[in-house]
Each structure stands twice: as structure tokens, then as C-alpha cells.
Structure 1
Amino acid sequence: MVFELTYFGIAGRAEAIKLIAEVGGTQYTFTPVSFQDWPKVKPTTKYGQLPVLKNSEDESFELCQSIAIARFFAREGNLYPTLNVDASFSDEYVNTIKDLNDAYFKAIFSPNKEEELRKYYEGPFVQTLAALEKEVKPSGFLVGTALSWADLFLFDLLSGVGKDKELPTKLAALKETIAANPKVIEYYQSDRNLRK
């Protein structure tokens, strides 16, 4: 079974999804959509938005919403916590990171981009990372004792929006741990990674 992930051909909401699939060993193909072709593609999607995940063996399978797709791949690749409490906290962290990403996109597309980005990095970015720093467990991960989709979601944020930013101690160590993961290294060195 091969999944087809469709999104714009840029580093955006699909990068964390792809990273989770890569680390979890779930087979997928990536179909980029150009902004020029998007008006033609948009009416064919369930909600008129991307990303979309389809299954090559089941035409009725069309999963939308980036968090739902990321969670699906996390479960497929055993990166979603099995304990309900851990799973719920992983959902909290992922949604918090998504909010931080959304605030970044709002700032970058603002007419006052420079000022809004300054406010973003001095406000929500610092505040949210300080809160997440307190959530890192003795294991060095956000949830339990092993790498989860929440860690990868955070790593994607820190490798994109947070690139070259000073990080709190535990989050900096977590980023280094994930960056040393052989599957992460392979993905980041490949053409599949659109952050290059």
C-alpha cells in the first residue's frame, strides 16, 4: 500500500507530515501542486484545500487536514503514543506547535511583515518555546521515553521557523538528538526535503 500526499511544491505544512512518514517508515509519494495549477486542482479536493492524502489501493480514502494526516502517519509508523494520557499530551503539543506555525504565516504575509515578524519572535515564539521547554521529560523527549510525532513536529518548526534562533537548553538538546537520527539525516539530505 502506497499513500499519495499532495501539497504545494514548497516547504510548508507538508514537511512535518513527510518527516513523520520517513522516520516511521511509511511508504508514500509526494505530488506537488504549482500555484499556477491550484485553481484547477482546488475543486477536486474535499474541502478546497491542501494537503490531501490518498491511498493507491482504496479510491474512497481521501484524508484532509494536516494534523489528521500527520497523526495517521504517526500511527502507521508507531510514532503515536499508545497510552491515552501520553497520546492526549502529544496532541496538545502538536496543536500548540501548529498554532505557532499559523502565527508565523500570518506575520509573514502581513503588509507590515518586518514589524509583525519582530513581534512574533519576541512574543509567541519565545513564550511557546519556554512553555514547551518545561514539558521535556527526563528522557529528553516531549512524551514518555521515546521519540514521537510531537518531537518531529517540533523539530520541523525549529528547522524552519526557528532556524538560527537561540533555543532553550532542553529543546536545543532535543533538536540535536533528532538531527542525529539516521532516517532524519537521510531525509534532510534527499531531494524529498523541500527545506534545502
Structure 2
Amino acid sequence: MPVYKLYYFPVRGRAELSRLLLAVAGKDYEDIRISFDEWPKKKSTIPTGQMPTFDVDGQLLCQSLTIARYIAREYGYAGKSNMEQALVDQVVDTASDYLGEYFKCYFAPEETKKEAIEKYLKESTPKTLTCFNKWLEQNDGGKGFFVGSSMTMADLAVYEVLTNVVLRDSKILDGFPKLVEHRNRVAFLPKIKEYLEKRPKTDV
């Protein structure tokens, strides 16, 4: 059985998709959270100079989506065919782009941060929600998951990226009932529910 160590900051951020995948797969791992004060010393030891990183029996993996896809493929959450994998990837990559936009706003200078987040919620968010909703409805009318008949990393990616906007505006999904139902469906998967009840609460 492999020994896993996941390194990231003490936030959800770009490591949370991998944490959710490990949770739903029921796999133990060491969740090593590096403080922002410790980070400058750690940075020089990482090939990309970025986190998250994922240690698998001494083999270090870098890049958040590389890590998430490795875990998803290892435990059956990446799609069951080449086409399913492509459909999963388009959802995951869109969620990642959307998350990147949010980080630019969240880490903007204080004098422009509020305006940047408001613009993100009013302009980028409706477009992305419409896209997610369309993809969800294309699979069995949106009654289940994004791809195929069972949960994949696409479902976890959308669940997590929407956490940020729901925390900002609890009514932001009001016009997207299928996405609300999907969000509840994911949150009440037994292992995800157990993980969410225990995970530290953070802004991002």
C-alpha cells in the first residue's frame, strides 16, 4: 500500500480537489500544511517552486491537476473510456480556470480587491455556471453526475470551486436548481460528508 504525503498551505486552494479524491477513495495520507511563514524555506526544495506537491513512496509529483488526475486514475474517478476522460477533463480544466480567476481577485491589492470580487461574481460567474449547468444537463438531464453513471473528479472539482462563490453569496446558485441538487448530491456522499464535517474552515 503506497504511502502518501500531500504538501500545501493551510487552505483549501488548489490542493482541495486532491484531498476530496483521497477522501472519497478512503485512502490515508499525511496532510502536511505549510504555513505562509515557513514557505520561503520550503520553496527552494520543490522543482517548480509551487505547491501542492504529492509524495508517493518518495516520488514527488508537482502541479495540482497532475496530482488530482493521478489519484483519480488510480482509484477509478477519471472516467471509464477515452471519451469519458475527455469529458471529465473539460469540466475539471474549466473549474481550474475559474478558480484561477478567483485567486487573482482574492489576492488583489486591498484597494481593488472588493471591486474585483464583485466583478468576478457578476461577470465571470454567470457564464461559468451556465456552462457547468449545460454540461450537467447533457448527462441524463442533470439527474446524476457530470459524466457517466457515477461520480468522477469532475463532480468534486465543480463542488469545490463553487464553495468559494457560495461563501461570498449564498443565493448565487438560485437560478441553477440542477447545480444546487448536484452540490447536495456530492456533499452527502458518505465519505465526502464525513470529510467535510472535519475539514478546517478557510476562506479559500
Question: Same fold judged by TM-score > 0.5?
Answer: yes
SS at match of 1:161: helix
What displacement does 1:28 show?
1.5
Match of 1:105 in 2: 103
Amino acid at match of 1:87: Q
Alignment of 1:57-136 (within 5 A): 57=57, 59=58, 61-111=59-109, 112-136=112-136
Correspondence for 1:153: 157
- Give me the CA root mean square deviation: 1.3
- Report SS of the residue matched to 1:183: helix
Task: Report the equivalent of 2:146.
Answer: 142
CA contact (8 A) 1:140 1:170 kept: no
Could you tell me the percent identity over the aligned residues?
A: 35
**Number of equivalenced pairs:** 191
Of 152, 176, 183, the match for 2:184: 176
Counterpart amino acid of 1:117? I
Equivalent-residue separation in structure 2 for 1:170 and 1:82 (angstroms) = 24
Matched, 1:162 2:166: yes
Q: Secondary structure at the match of 2:54?
A: strand
Query: What TM-score comes out, normalization by structure 2 length?
Result: 0.89
Q: State the AA in 2 paired with 1:51.
A: P
Q: Please identify, of 40-49 and 10-19, the stretch whose mean Cα deviation from structure 2 is larger.
A: 10-19
**Separation in structure 2 between the aligned mates of residue 92 and residue 142 of structure 1, nearest angstrom:** 11
Contact 2:165 2:172 in 1 (8 A): no
- Structure 2, unaligned stretches of length 5 or more? none
- SS of alignment partner, residue 121 of structure 1: helix
Query: Quick one: distance in 2 between partners of 1:134 and 1:187?
Result: 28
- Give 1:144 deviation, angstroms: 1.1
Which structure shows the higher helix fraction? 2
Gaps of 5+ in 1: none
Contact 1:26-1:76 within 8 A present in 2 as well = no
Measured after TM superposition, the shift of residue 26 of structure 1 is 2.6
| 1:42 and 1:48 in contact (8 A); partners too | yes
Cα distance in 2 for residues equivalent to 1:141 and 1:157: 16
Q: Distance in 2 between matches of 1:71 and 1:194?
A: 24
TM-score (norm 1): 0.92
- Contact 2:121 2:165 (C-alpha < 8 Å) held by counterparts: no
